[in-house]
Amino acid sequence: MANIEWYDSFSVGINLIDEQHKELLGKINALNEAVDKHQGIDKILNTLTFLYQYTDVHFSTEEKYMKELDYPGKKIHMEQHIEFFEMIETMRKDFEEDGATRALGESISTYLGNWLITHIKSIDFKFGEFLRETGHAGINA
Ligand SMILES: [Fe+2]
């Protein structure tokens, strides 16, 4: 499964968030690679843990500003974040139970990668617009 590349069209116009999204894609790609190269279940679970931890860092950043600025779309946005965490957890269970099967490897790009890009291009775009319109384009962690 090919790595997911970053395109400028993924930019939400907020540097901090763009950088975090790039990092997150990198973690998804690392997991993808670990499965592709049959690096063993321990290594795979490790990369999954890194992905989980960084997702937490990133979502916390977004949610911090959503709460601080009383962003009107925060409820639906945060629900989507929970959905992503749940996907990672389901994936962890599947890896633990079934090992690194080919089907599971394919679902990394299909589910995690596609979910993230769809999320960025819809719901994060709106939040980026809100940050710019309210004069918060220059936020830093
Ligand atoms: Fe988000």
Q: Which residues contact 41 (CB under 8 A, 6 or more apart)?
A: 95, 96, 99, 100
Q: Nearest 10 degrees: CA dihedral of 141, 85, 45, 54?
A: 0
Range 14-39 average pLDDT: 93
Question: Is 140 domain-assigned?
Answer: no
Question: Is 97 domain-assigned?
Answer: yes
- Look up residue 130 and give its two tokens: 């809100």
**Residue 105 in this model has a pLDDT that exceeds 90:** no
Residue 73 near residue 123 (C-beta atoms within 8 A): yes
Question: Is 98 domain-assigned?
Answer: yes
Ligand 1 centre to CA of 9 (Å) is 16
Q: Which residue, 46, 53, 64, 45, is CA-closest to 23?
A: 53
Question: Is 106 domain-assigned?
Answer: yes
Range 80-93 average pLDDT: 94
Question: Is 51 domain-assigned?
Answer: yes
Question: Is 29 domain-assigned?
Answer: no
Domain that holds residue 79: 42-66+73-134
Question: Is 100 domain-assigned?
Answer: yes
Ligand 1 centre to CA of 40 (Å) is 31
pLDDT, mean over the chain: 93
Q: What is the number of domains present in the chain? A: 1
**Residue 55 in this model has a pLDDT that exceeds 90:** yes
Question: Is 91 domain-assigned?
Answer: yes
The pTM (predicted TM-score) of the whole model is 0.93
Q: Which residue, 123, 118, 141, is CA-closest to 77?
A: 123
Ligand 1 centre to CA of 70 (Å) is 15
Ligand 1 centre to CA of 72 (Å) is 14
